[in-house]
Amino acid sequence: MDPARNTGRCLCGSVRYEVSGPAASLCYCHCDSCRRAAGAPMVAWGTFARSAFRVTRGQLSEHRSSAPVLRGFCASCGGALTYQHDARPTEIDVTLASLDAPAALAPRMHVWVAEKLPWLVISDGLPQFTASSGAAAGP
């Protein structure tokens, strides 16, 4: 198996995707938008080249959560899968938890910590950014 090629899917399996190449960034995003989109206290993202991402089954439904942000999800089960920001047209962020082998790619930092929920305590020693690190999911 090619370690640089990752596959993933939504909860119901209607949407499957494939993404290749190294992740440019791996992070936990604590922003309010990611939280609401996923229904979770934070979301783990991996940033890849947009040209290296393709949907291999079904169709990605899209929702513009703010003017520059397009979020991709499964219309059947609601699983959050992708994030695209107009300021980063060559990149796409993929939810690490939707990968078929999520253990292989671990987040390396926390972003948008200014919006973090107070009851979520970060104790992993990873770098923390108040807002975006420059290449990370955010509102």
Smallest separation, CB 109 to Zn ion (Å):
13
Question: How far apart are alpha carbons 89 and 19 in whole angstroms?
Answer: 16
Residue 21-60 contact track with Zn ion, rule CB under 5 A, x = bound: --------x-x--x--------------------------
Nearest to 61 by CA among 51, 71, 47: 71
Q: Which is it for strands 91-95 and 43-49: parallel, antiparallel or unpaired?
A: antiparallel
CB 27 within 8 A of CB 107: yes
Q: Please, which residue, 31 or 113, has the CB nearer to Zn ion?
A: 31
Residues in binding contact with Zn ion, number by CB under 5 A: 12
Q: Please, which residue, 10 or 23, has the CB nearer to Zn ion?
A: 10
Could you say whether residue 137 binds Zn ion (CB under 5 A)? yes
CB 6 within 8 A of CB 44: no
Q: Which residues here bind Zn ion, judged by CB under 5 A?
A: 10, 12, 14, 29, 31, 34, 74, 76-77, 79, 137-138
